[in-house]
Amino acid sequence: MAKKSAKDTPKKSPKSVVINPSQVSSDESDSGPTVQRSAYRQPVTAKGLKAIEDGSLTWLDDEMYNNLNTGVLEQYLEEKNLEESFEVSHWSPSKVMIGIAIGAIFSGVTAYIGLKLGLAISAAWYIAYLLGMALKWSPSEVNIATSATTGATHASTGFIFTFPAIFLLASKAQYSLADGPLITLEDGEAFRLAFIAIVASMFAGFLGVMYFIIFRRVWLVEDPLPLPGFEATLKMLDIASDVNTGAVEHARESLKTIGLWTGITMIGMFLIEYPIVWLSDKKLSVMDYLAETLHVGDIGLASFYSAGKIHQPAGIYEDGSSKKYTQWSEETAWNPFAYTYVGVALTPSMFAIGWFMKTRVAFLVNLGTLVGWFILVPLAVFLNFPVYDAQYQANVPIQYYAEDGARALQMIAFSKTVRTIAIGSIVGGGMFGLAKMWRTFANIFKDIGAAFKGEGSQEYMEGKGWYEWPLMHIPIFMGLTFLSMILIFWVGGFPIAAAVIFATVLIMTTFLLGAIAVRVMGETGIEPVSGTSFIVLLMLLGIFLNFDAALGLNKQDAVLLGLVGTTVFGSAISMSGTVIGDYKNSLYIGNRPYHISKGNIMGVVPGAIIGAAVAIFLSIQLAEGRIDLIAPQANAFATFSVIFAEGQGDLTLLALGFLLGMFVEWVTGMGTSFGLGMYLDVPHTLPMLIGGYSRDKWEEKKLKPKIEAIKEEEGATAAEKKRALILLSTFMVAAGLLTGEAFFGTESSILSFIDTLVADPNSTGWYIGRMAGFIGLNVGIGWIIYALFKRAGVIGAPKVLDAELVNES
C-alpha cells in the first residue's frame, strides 16, 4: 500500500490558513467581518479571526472557546495539528490498557443500565478522565486513553437492545403463539448464537469506527457538527492541563465522591431490593417488610408502596401485601386511578440520567410516557378497546379481563396497545429522521469520492508517522468484513445464501444508516440506535420471511438471523457514534486522529466479549423471570418479530404509532426518543424528569449566583473553570448513583441465578450462605477498588511520578 506523505500535497502554515470567502460576508461592522451562519457553523469573532491570521491562537485558550464550531477555527486547528500534533500526541500502551480495562468493566454495568432503563448510558469515561487527571496525565493522554474506554463500553450495544429479544421470544408466555413459542432454543443453541453475534460484532465495530474516518473532515472540520454537551468534556481536558488550578486534587476528591455515592446507593438498593426477610413462602426486602407490616386501621403502607415504587393507592390483600395496581370494575369505574398507573420508582439511575439530561431533554423523552399513560391507556380502558389474545386467537374487549381480577386493565392496555403504538413511533420517527436528511444522501457520495481521492486530507507524514488512519484501509476492511460475515454465519449453521444477503445489508446499512445516526447525534447529542436498528430488522425480516424457502430458512431461523443481524448492526453504528466525540475533542487539543481510531478499535474486542457476556446472562435471567428489568427495546423487538412472523398484533395501531412518531420527529427532532418513552411506565420515567428539573433549579438558585460572584472577584476565565469543577462534582454523585445501582443489580442477578442451582433455596443454611457470599463479594470488590485508588494516589500519598517524568511515547 502506498503511503501518502506530506510532500505529496502543499503544506500550509497555520499562520497562513486560507479562509473561504464564502464564510465572510461583505457587511463589515466596527467589530470586523462577520461570518454567514450555516446550519451548524457559528460566526467567528473579530479577535478570533485576528488570532488565526497571525497564528497566535492555540489549543484551549480563550479565543478557541469563543470560536467553537465556526469552521474557520476547525480548519485552522487541523492545519496546526498537521504540523505540531506529533510533538503532543503520544501513544502510551499502559495508559490505553487502563482505559480499556475501565471500559470493559463498565460495559457490563452499561448492559444492566440499558436493560433496566432502556438507555445505554455509562459513567466509564468520567472515571477514566478523573483517573487520568489524578495520575497527572496530559490532556492528550487522557483523550487517547478514554477513546479506548468508550470503544470498550459501546462495542456491545446491540446485545443490550436487540439480542435479549431472542430469549424473550423463547421463554415469555406473552410472546407465545397458539402452537407454542416462536423460537425454541435447544441445548447449546444460545451459546452458538452468542458466539456468532460476538465475533461478528467485533468486525462490525471495527467497520463502524473506520466508516467515520471518511466523515471526520467533512463534519468536524469543514462544517462542524455542534455535538451538544461536548464542551463539558473539553473543559475537563482543559482542567487536566492546568495543575495550578488544583485539578489533580479535585480529581482525587471526585473519585472519592464516586466511591462514596456508589456505596451509599448500594446500601439503599440493599434495603429496597435484597430479600433479607424470609417468612414461610415469602422473601421480602426491608422496605417491603415494613410496608406490609405497618397499618393504620385497614389501610396499610403497602397500598402506597411496593417493589421499590411509591405509587397511587391500590389497596392491600388480607396478608398485608400490596395489590400494586388500582383494579378496574364496574364499581370502581369512577376512580381515575383505575385507568392509569402513576408513581415514582426508587431508582437512583433514572434520577442521575435526568441530571445529565436537564429538564428539556428529559421532558422530551418523558413526553411519550405522559401521552401513553395519561391519554392512550385511559382511552383504551374506557372505550373497552379489543386486544389480541393468543390463547383465544381472537380480539377480546379489554374489560372482559376485569371478571377474573387477575390482571389490572391498565397494564393490559399498556402491553397490548400502547407498546404497539410505541414500536410504530420508534420506527416512524427513525424513518422520518432519515427522510429529513435527504440532502445528506445527495452529497454524501461526493464527499466520499473526494475523500478517497485524498482531497483535503493527509495521512502519512514523512519522517513523523501516521496523522490519520489510511482511507485505503476502508475498502479493504469492507471486503474483509463482508467475507468474514458470510463465513461466521455459515459456520454458525445458517445457509450461505442468507449469510451473503445479511453481509450485503450490513455493509450498506452500517454506512448509510450509520452516517445518518451520527449526523443526528451531532445535531442533538443523542444517537438513534434503536430507531435505525428497527429499520434494519424490518429489512432483514422482510427478506428472510418472504424468501425463506428460496434461502433455505425455516421461520425460526429467519427470525433468529434477523435478530442476530440487527444485534451486529447496533454494535457497528454505536461505535460510529462513539468515535465522533473522541475525534471532536482531539481536534481542539492537538491529538492525531490516528491515535483516536486506534484506541477505539483496541477497545472493541474486550468490550464486545465482556459486555455481551453480561448482557446475555442478564437476558437469560430476565426471560426466565429471576430478575425484573424493563428492557424496552428488547421487548419491542420481540413484539415486532411476532407481528411480522405471524401477523399478530394490530397493524392499525402500528401505523398510528408510525404517523405519531413522524409528527413528533418533525416537531421536536426526537421521534425515536418519544417512542422509547412511550414504551416505559411513569414510575421509571418520572425520576428522570425530577432529576432534570432538579439540576436546572440547582444551577439557577445555587450555581449561577456563586459563579457570578467569582467572576466579579477573579474574572471570567477563573469563573468558568470553577463552574466546570463544581458541575463536575455533581456529575460524580450522579456517576456513583449509576454505578451503585448497576453493581447491586448485577450482583443480585448472579445470586438469583445461583438460587436455581441450589437443592433447597429456602433453607436456613442457604440463607446464611447467600448472605455471606453477598457480603464477601462486596468486601472483595471494595478491597480491590481501595487498592487501586491507593496505588493511584487517590487515597493516601501518591505513589506515581508526575506525567512529565513518565511521559511515554
% of the chain at pLDDT higher than 70: 83
What is the pLDDT at residue 237? Answer: 78
User: Could you tell me which of 197, 144, 113 has the C-alpha nearest to residue 579?
Assistant: 144
Taking CA 206 as the corner, what is the angle to CA 438 and CA 586, rounded to the nearest 5 degrees? Answer: 80
Cα gap 567→571, rounded to integer Å: 7
Where is pLDDT greater, at 532 or 504? Answer: 504
What is the pLDDT at residue 21? Answer: 32
Give mean pLDDT, residues 175-194. Answer: 82
The 10s digit of each residue's pLDDT in 87-135 is: 888 899 999 999 998 888 878 777 877 787 666 766 677 678 777 777 7
Q: Is the pLDDT of residue 550 over 80?
A: yes
Q: Are 124 and 153 in contact (CB under 8 A)?
A: yes
The 10s digit of each residue's pLDDT in 467-480 is: 988 877 888 888 99
- pLDDT band of residue 171 (cuts 50, 70, 90) is confident
Quick one: cell of 635? 421487548
Cα gap 369→712, rounded to integer Å: 44
| 192-197 contacts at long range (C-beta below 8 A, 24 or more positions apart) | 192/492, 192/493, 193/166, 193/492, 193/560, 193/564, 194/163, 194/612, 194/616, 195/492, 196/488, 196/489, 196/492, 196/564, 197/158, 197/159, 197/163, 197/564, 197/567, 197/568, 197/612
Cα 250 versus chain centre, distance: 27
CA distances from 777 to 746, 769, 770, 771 (A): 12, 12, 10, 10
What is the pLDDT at residue 268? Answer: 92
User: Considering only 200-214, 567-581, 635-649, which range has the smallest mean pLDDT?
Assistant: 635-649
What is the pLDDT at residue 542? Answer: 87
Give mean pLDDT, residues 375-396. Answer: 82
What is the pLDDT at residue 196? Answer: 93
Cα gap 517→796, rounded to integer Å: 45
Q: Is the pLDDT of residue 450 over 60?
A: no
What is the pLDDT at residue 32? Answer: 36
% of the chain at pLDDT higher than 90: 15
Quick one: cell of 264? 451509599
Give mean pLDDT, residues 261-289. Answer: 88
Give mean pLDDT, residues 392-417. Answer: 79
Give mean pLDDT, residues 703-731. Answer: 80
Give mean pLDDT, residues 266-294. Answer: 87
Cβ within 8 Å of residue 784, ≥6 positions away: none
DSSP code, position 336: G
Bridge partners, residue 344, by sequence: 310
- pTM beyond 0.85, yes or no: no
Where is pLDDT greater, at 712 or 180? Answer: 712
Question: What are the residue ranges of helices labelled H in 67-188?
Answer: 72-88, 93-117, 124-134, 139-154, 157-161, 164-171
Mean pLDDT of the chain: 79
- pLDDT band of residue 234 (cuts 50, 70, 90) is confident
